[in-house]
Chain A
Amino acid sequence: MKASILYLFFIILSSLTSANTITVAQKGRINNLGKAIALAKNGDTIIVQKGHYPSYNTIINKSLTILGKDFPVLDAGFREEVITILARQVKLDGFVIKNSKVGSLRDYAGIRIHRTEQVHISNNKLMNNFFGIYISDSKHVSIYNNSTQGTNSAQNSGNGIHMWQCQDIKINNNYSSGHRDGIYFEFVKKSTISNNRSVKNLRYGLHFMFSDDNLYRGNTFKNNGSGVAVMYSKRIRMYNNLFLENWGSSIYGLLLKDISNCDIKHNRFIRNTTGIYMEGCQGINACNNQFLNNGWAMRVLANCVNGEFTRNNFTANSFDVTTNGSLNLNNFNNNYWDKYEGYDLNKNGIGDIPYHPISLYAQLIEQIPQSVMLMRSFMVNLLDKVERAIPSLTPESVKDNHPKMKPWEI
């Protein structure tokens, strides 16, 4: 008797506390996500079966786990946003989210996350949305394994993953293409961007504005308008990224503008018009990077101070370093330069005479851009040789006192 009462008690208790699972199917009783959300309570799980569901700004205002089975399609038919998440502790996984409205004044998005925390977005495929994932005023959001394909039009394209005033965001293993900026940070703090691929975006692969203390690591930026732009930010760490084929006029692998105390380590810059462009930067520490086959490996404007450029490899670049003035307050040391023609008599692996990375021709091209047509001509080679022997026009202060004879292994 006592046992059966206890048993009954447990049954009632479990039915009160346990989370329910609601299934959405195209031909079922619950045939769209909005209905399921209306029926659900905090902590429930919604499973959406394979199918095509219209979703005109479905609002998720409860803490739910929403899982798509075999990639069900949520389609806004270019009329609205697709999904808006306003609740804490939401997980959204395994959907195809497409066709958000392309607005002119409002930024319509595939997934909008606003003023919330602990949201997890994973394994979704976003297609043809104006903005892919748009996060504002939020904390502790993780974006894993999604792909987002933009509208690919110069006039009407938003950003792939867009963040505004956020903190502690993790963006890992996503793919972004055909957007304005692949990933965009504005007023975002303490966030990590790792192992993403940003390809063929119209402006930048990754873009920081007024965002401090962030880390990006192991990402690939290929064929974008420019690879990465870091602007008006502090303490950004950039490790192990690959900047590939960002090619064209006023296009850069990495564009740094008015930033301070940043680390650039173990990155590879391959076949970019300009590997790194720096303007108004302070305390940049660039070491162990690989510059291969770029037009300009580094373009450092004279208003940069306290830069440390050490242990980098400069290989097969048309110009290693150029500047528009003198770079008195920056230090180049211990780099490998393939154009170095000095000697190493004591065989310690370090050249005995300093290397001047700025060539006369680079200075010339700075003043007269048209002289690019003389590139690789006999005259230019001769001029450079003479200048190396008897420096007179190139800034004497810019030199590497301990150039490495063999490339660093990076």
Chain B
Amino acid sequence: MATVDIRSVRKAFDAHEVIHGVSVLIEDREFVVLVGPSGCGKSTLLRMIAGLEDITLGEIAIGGRVVNDVRAKERDIAMVFQNYALYPHMSVYKNMAFSLRLKGMDRNEIDERVRHAAKILNLGELLDRQPRQLSGGQRQRVAMGRAIVRNPKVFLFDEPLSNLDAKLRVQMRTEIKDLHLRLGATTVYVTHDQLEAMTMADRIVVMSDGNVEQIGAPLALYDHPDNVFVAGFLGSPAMNFFKGTLRRTGGEAWVEGADGLRLPLAQNAPGQEGRPVVYGIRPEHLKVGGDGGFFECRVIVVETTGSGTQVVAETPAGRITAAFDGRYPVRPGESLRLHPQLANVHLFDATTTLRMRSA
């Protein structure tokens, strides 16, 4: 197993730079998820680790060896592609055995490895099938099997679940995670789905526009996002944002939003009077009832999921989403007072969009 060290890596296609100096150190046995909206460069970065794209500037080292000039097949990595990229004309067995046969491995050892991987992935009975005879989830498992048999230093996953339906995606998510725990291989996983990132990663690398926005453990990123982008990207339903100006009078602090909306803050909130800020509050941190400041709003839409209730409401400064556990008896058109839990309010600088920290 191995570390993956990405040092100030840049990538340009002709004159157009798409990755602007990214550095990430992925530890041995770690499960790191690269997440971001489409076009943010996460797949390109993964493909540079794989050796499918050249590195324009900077270095990538796998297991301590710089691999910039090492070809994909000599990097000792395995990759699972979004469309699985199974060889359609080969049986499941041959798909999994392909790389081993190219290596000229002994027939018995190939057989042993393929059957071992098939057992891990529950593919035992499908070994003679052709890929077209398999369901999406089974194809996905074959693609992983093809990676496992090689016993590589690093596993790379490129949006492996996005072609599956929602239910299967959740199931495969668990399987991949379970597989990682059992094999303990260093894994780099690319997805645009923040939920996948949150649930699977040891650490998440949030990217946008070819830059790393923040790196950290899922909950650390969720609770302490470095900037508005990360705050808005992680979490579903997404965090509510209001632009405004920081106000302090006496012992009190609040943010004055558009239309004079008064957004309550904790006393110890950072920042000086008059500073333009972005006020962020997650939907689950809004409560009905209690004391302190509140949002006076009118309910527009109520969405019930069975286990929870989401309420979209209109405030003078724009829409706000609140999420409640269980069922909440409220109907569109009714008015509502939403109290933000002050400890969970996020304040960002309006110009830099960076998180404001207490001095």
Question: Is B truly associated with A?
Answer: no
Residues of B within 8 A of A (CB): none
